[in-house]
A and B are shown apart, each in its own frame.
Chain A
Amino acid sequence: MNAAPPAANALPKVHYLNVDYGIRSWLFTIDHKRIALLYLGSITLFFVLGGLFATAIRLELLTPAGDLFESETYNKMFTMHGVVMIFFFLIPSIPATLGNFLVPMMIGARDLAFPRINLLSWYIYTLGGLFTLFAILSGGVDTGWTFYTPYSSTYSNTNVMATAVGVFILGFSSILTGFNFIITIHKMRAPGLTWFRLPLFIWAHYATSVIMILGTPVVAIAIALVGLERLFHIGIFNPALGGDPVLFQHLFWFYSHPAVYIMILPSMGVISEIVCCFSRKKIFGYSFVAFSSIAIALLGFLVWGHHMFVSSQSMYAGMVFSILSFLVAIPSAVKVFNWTATMYKGSVMYNAPMLYAMGFIGLFTMGGLTGLFLSTLATDVHLHDTYFVVAHFHYIMVGGALMGYLGGIHFWWPKISGRLYPEAWARFSALIIFVGFNLTFFPQFILGYLGMPRRYHAYPEEFQVLNVMSTAGASILAVGYAIPLIYLFWSLRYGPAAGPNPWQAKGLEWQASSPPPTHNFPETPVVTEEAYEYYPGAEADRV
């Protein structure tokens, strides 16, 4: 059932990892693959940090009384969990690691269009990260990751400025990455690689890059304005100074709703690659999957007001944002149906990446469908700012984006490291994560409809049972995340050599050796066929 690894593979003599040694060779590298690994290291550190905050939150919520932390400390915990996980893990996650590594390889290029700007974007990310770490170490911040005014601009006396500066700086790294991807995809495709032969991973990253470029400046401006009001008392958001507090919400969500698609679209790209490879099938409805990414990216800019149905926004504006939010659900549904149909009459293998992909399809479906409860005006009035919302977006961001990320890391691990990860452990942890995830977050849907507000340090006793379930699930989930961290490190040294194409997958990245040489391809490849051409009887797939 497995794609059997060709026997007696050896790592190539010279590849991007051993071409040069020493810390300078990493800090001054302009190789997109090495930069991807710099990002991989950074975002893993932030993921662990964000996970520690999540652990603290779940432990506090084990009992109804606020007895583990002071309320001020708890508020900082959930704020920093959100800031770290969203800005420093989820937004860069797939684009900055897998995207950086694979966009040039998938289109047959030697690097991104602007390798130095690519390195610059990592330094900017690191600088933003240092500001945020400073904010955390110097007392933390308690505004919630949403920075709602006038609380953030006037009332909070925590370290809002350092965090805001960190997030502001970080935005530029995102913009540069998006800009680099768009130009690379336009200008550097291998001969014969027309738009409709591109892997769907590339379409997804193109759509993501558009959002990064168009949306990120707006959140940067919004955060800069919060800083101006905080430092110089310029009245922008605080009504006491003549400002409008709801204006901030408009600016913030104009970016932060599309940002959800920055997190999920690359994951969708990963899932398309994995489902095709492990079903040995061409994607069902290529152009529908490709254009649904673009449709999501564009429609995603028109739905921000669904975060504001009870904010004092007019009733009719609410209705417009509601109907537009339903429309953006359609392309997401189309993708789910197409992935499922791709498995039909396929040749399905149960490797770990495929388990993650199947998990993604199921959990994203649930996450997407529960989004309908929040686009529906009357139910959102009741559910807004309750645990239902918390459950919904964790199904999208953890059940969806993170499952896709882990699936992708496993799928391309042989390409990145040149070695195979231990398959049995990987399947086991994928299963643990699926179970732990559902036990953690499913009870929160019910908590939300029962009326438990989010960001509560202490809560009424009748909510305890569901909270205990959730905390129990979180402890399972933590184990599930720890296992891959251990065996992936282990495999760097002890994993068997993978060979160029252990999955017998299609796609140009699999034509290069594993790990690839610095310039990826000795000769520019020429593309003569569409993506995912797993021909009947084509044993020639084995390179």
Chain B
Amino acid sequence: MATLVHLAFLAVLQQGLPIVPERASSVAKQIDYLYYFLTGVTLFFSALIFSLVFYFAVRYRQRHPDERPQPIHGSLGLELLWSAIPLGLTMVMFFWGAHLFYIVRTPPSDATQLYVVGKQWMWKIQHPEGQREINALHVPVGRPVKLTMTSEDVIHSFYIPAFRIKMDVLPGRYTELWFTATKAGTYHLFCAEYCGAKHSGMTGWVTVLEPADYEAWLSGAPAGESLEQAGARLFRQHNCHTCHEAGPTSRGPSLQEILGKQVRLASGETVVVDEGYLRESILQPNAKVVAGYESVMPTYQGQISEEGILQLIAYLKSLTRAERKAQP
């Protein structure tokens, strides 16, 4: 036991002991400042309580067993004071934290879109240009990157401590995470949600590259077809076009320029077409049928992988983009 403590202190003396991880994203510094504020408040009040308890214990120690001090019933003023001060401080924490949280949860519209699929026990990443990585993520410095993520099995959580961000990765739905890396280097990627036997092995490395190095990496990595191309191939392969590209008489709605649009459903409700709705409509086509169409589409559950669905979505997004480009 003593040896362990001794070893630990020796190691501290030799290596130093950092208290914050590297800062490698646009939000890391702001979150660290908030952390320092919280740490300051914690140290102040802990020190206050510890020293008051210690001081009172010594100053007012019992000197005679029959001693009976004058009772003090309380003080409304003090009660209000020591309710109001914590309330004020915690509200500062709330607004500061909520403000940064809003930033962390709101990806910029020009972010590069990457796709992540988690499974026991690996991370699979697809770049728009077609590069695929496992347990590794290459990104450039200075460009916002948005990850759309899903899981093939249980809940995982995508965590990059150097970026101070984390988001659970769930089966059956998409979650989003975004960041702008600010410093070239190699950083830990962890799965933070316990996911079974090899949970602690579901780790990898995030490599942040200078833009030129990133371009070199992109052209050097085997790409094959881009995500849009892969999606277009799947679209043909599964005969989606027979119903969705047949003009005004088609059995399914047109998929040109639908992403982000609001559509009316047969049930009378309206829904915004996002990645989650597209995914649901491929796997459970009858759940939310667009008004004016029969529920005749068969399910593709079990026929298309999670990665395939993401490729299809990338393709459908490109249809929207192509329209937008054509219009002005």
Contacts and interface: CB of A to CB of B under 8 A. Distances in A.
Interface of A: 1-4, 62, 66, 71-72, 75, 142, 144, 148, 150-151, 154-156, 238-240, 244-246, 279-282, 284-288, 309-312, 315, 318-319, 322-323, 326-327, 329-330, 333-334, 336-338, 340-341, 343-350, 358, 361-362, 365-366, 369-370, 372-373, 375-382, 384-386, 439, 446, 449-451, 453-460, 464-466, 468-469, 471-472, 475-476, 504, 533-539, 541
A376 B94 contact: yes
A288 B30 CA distance: 37
Contacts of A311: 168
A383 B168 CA distance: 13
Given A377-B100, A465-B17, A469-B8, A385 B196 contact: no
7 contacts: A75-B199, A148-B193, A285-B73, A350-B57, A376-B93, A376-B97, A379-B35
A281 B71 contact: yes
Contacts of B91: 326
B73 A315 contact: no
A346 B197 CA distance: 55
Contact of A366 (B7, B46, B86, B192): B46
Given A373-B38, A456-B200, A465-B11, A381 B101 contact: yes
Contacts of A475: 1, 4
Interface residues of B, number: 94
Interface string B129-173: 000000000000000000000000111010101101111101111
Interface in B32-73: 34-35, 38, 41-42, 45-46, 49-50, 52-53, 56-57, 60-63, 65-73
Contact of B199 (A238, A327, A455, A504): A455
A439 B4 CA distance: 12
A450 B21 contact: yes
Contacts of B198: 71
B102 A334 contact: no
B271 interface: no
A422 to B, nearest CB: 20
Given A285-B73, A365-B46, A372-B93, 18 more contacts: A75-B194, A148-B193, A284-B74, A315-B102, A330-B86, A338-B79, A340-B56, A344-B56, A346-B60, A348-B62, A377-B97, A378-B96, A381-B31, A382-B164, A384-B166, A454-B194, A466-B17, A535-B68
A62 B167 CA distance: 29
In this complex, which of A4, A62, A464 has the most chain B Cβ atoms within 10 angstroms of its Cβ? Answer: A464
A10 to B, nearest CB: 22
A251 B171 CA distance: 19
Given A1-B62, A343-B56, A536 B70 contact: yes
B83 interface: yes
Given A340-B56, A382-B31, A468 B83 contact: no
B199 A450 contact: no
B19 A449 contact: yes
A53 B240 CA distance: 55
A536 B69 contact: yes
Contact of B49 (A362, A451, A535): A362
A375 B94 CA distance: 8
B212 interface: no
Contacts of B155: 148, 150-151, 245
A310 B157 contact: yes
B306 to A, nearest CB: 12
In this complex, which of A72, A246, A449 has the most chain B Cβ atoms within 10 angstroms of its Cβ? Answer: A449
Contacts of A309: 101
B57 A310 contact: no
In this complex, which of A286, A347, A384 has the most chain B Cβ atoms within 10 angstroms of its Cβ? Answer: A347
Nearest to B65: A4
A341 B27 CA distance: 41
A75 B192 CA distance: 14
A3 B65 contact: yes
Given A245-B172, A385-B192, A319 B101 contact: yes
Contact of B19 (A288, A450, A459): A450
B75 interface: yes
Given A334-B79, A344-B72, A366 B42 contact: yes
A516 to B, nearest CB: 25
Contacts of A349: 61-62
B46 A340 contact: no
Interface string B260-279: 00000000000000000000
B49 to A, nearest CB: 5
B98 A245 contact: no
B122 interface: no
B56 to A, nearest CB: 4
B326 interface: no
Given A343-B53, A450-B18, A322 B157 contact: no
Contacts of A451: 21, 159, 161-162, 188, 190
Contact of B200 (A71, A244, A318, A534): A71
In this complex, which of B46, B53, B167 has the most chain A Cβ atoms within 10 angstroms of its Cβ? Answer: B53
Contacts of A244: 172
Give 8 closest A-B pairs by Cβ, nearest first.
A451-B161, A239-B172, A378-B100, A377-B101, A376-B97, A285-B74, A326-B90, A456-B200
Contacts of A288: 74, 79
A346 B56 contact: yes
Given A362-B53, A538-B68, A347 B97 contact: no
In this complex, which of B27, B35, B93 has the most chain A Cβ atoms within 10 angstroms of its Cβ? Answer: B93
B296 interface: no
A468 B11 contact: yes
Contacts of B5: 439, 469, 472
B101 A245 contact: no
A338 B81 CA distance: 12
Contacts of A382: 31, 35, 161, 164-166
